[in-house]
Amino acid sequence: MYRRGCNNMMKSKQRVMVISNVAFEPFFRTIIKNQFNQSNVDLTLFLIPYEEYNGLEYKNQFSVSDIIIVWINLESLASNMINKGESIPDKEQKIAEIVALCNNFLNDIVCRSNANILWFTFENYYSSLSAVVGHIYNDVTDKLNLKLFDTIGDRVTFIDLKHIISEVGISNAYDQKNKYRWNSPYSKVLIEIAVKEIHKQYLIEKGITKKCLVLDCDNVLWGGILSEDGIENIKLGCSGFGRPYQDFQRFILSLYYHGVILAVCSKNDLSDVMAMFREHSEMLLKEKHIACFQVNWENKPDNIKRIAETLNIGLDSTVFVDDSPVEVEAVKSILPEVTAILYNRDSVYKELSCFNPKGDVSIANIEKRNETYRTNQSRETLKLQYQSYDEYIAALKIKFDIREALPIEYSRIAELTQRTNKCTNGKRYTVAEIKKRIAQESVELYSLYVSDRFSDLGLVGALEIDRNTINLFVLSCRAFGRKIEEKMLAFISEKYKINKVEFHSTGKNNDMKETLFGDFI
Task: Write the burial class of residue 278 (CB in 10 Å: 0-12 exposed, 13-18 middle, 19+ buried).
Answer: exposed
Which conformational region is residue 270 in: left (phi greater than 0), alpha (psi within -120 to 50 degrees), or beta?
Answer: alpha
Q: Which CATH superfamily is domain 212-354 in?
A: HAD superfamily/HAD-like (3.40.50.1000)
3-state helix, strand, coil in the chain (%, to 5): 50, 20, 30
Distance CA 223, CA 491 (A): 53
Q: Where in the chain is the domain with CATH 3.40.630.30?
A: 386-520
Q: Where in the chain is the domain with CATH 3.40.50.1000?
A: 212-354
CA distances, 329 to each of 250, 300, 323, 334 (Å) = 27, 11, 11, 9
Tell me if 465 sits within 8 A of 473, measured CB to CB: no
Q: Where in the chain is the domain with CATH 3.40.50.1110?
A: 12-206
Q: Domain 386-520 - what CATH class?
A: alpha beta
Output the pLDDT for position 129. 63
Give average pLDDT by consecutive 10-residue segment, the chain, 521 residues. Answer: 41 92 90 94 95 91 94 86 62 91 95 93 79 71 94 93 94 91 93 96 89 97 95 93 96 94 96 96 95 95 94 93 97 97 95 85 83 83 88 91 94 90 90 90 95 91 94 90 89 92 88 84 67
Output the pLDDT for position 92. 87
Which pTM was predicted?
Answer: 0.81
Cis peptide before 357 (omega within 30 of 0): no
Per-residue b/e over 294-303, b at no fewer than 16 CB within 10 Å?
Answer: bbeeeebbeb
Tell me if 441 sits within 8 A of 488, measured CB to CB: no
174: amino acid identity, one letter: Y
Distance CA 77, CA 65 (A): 25
Which residue stretches of 362-479 are H helix?
Answer: 363-374, 376-383, 389-396, 410-419, 431-438
Question: Residue 357's CB: how many other CB atoms inside 10 A?
Answer: 19
* DSSP codes, 4-54: E---TTSPEEEEEEEEESS--TTTHHHHHHHHHHTTTEEEEEEEEEGGGTT
According to CATH, the topology of domain 12-206 is Rossmann fold (3.40.50)
Phi then psi for residue 365, to 5 deg, are -65, -40
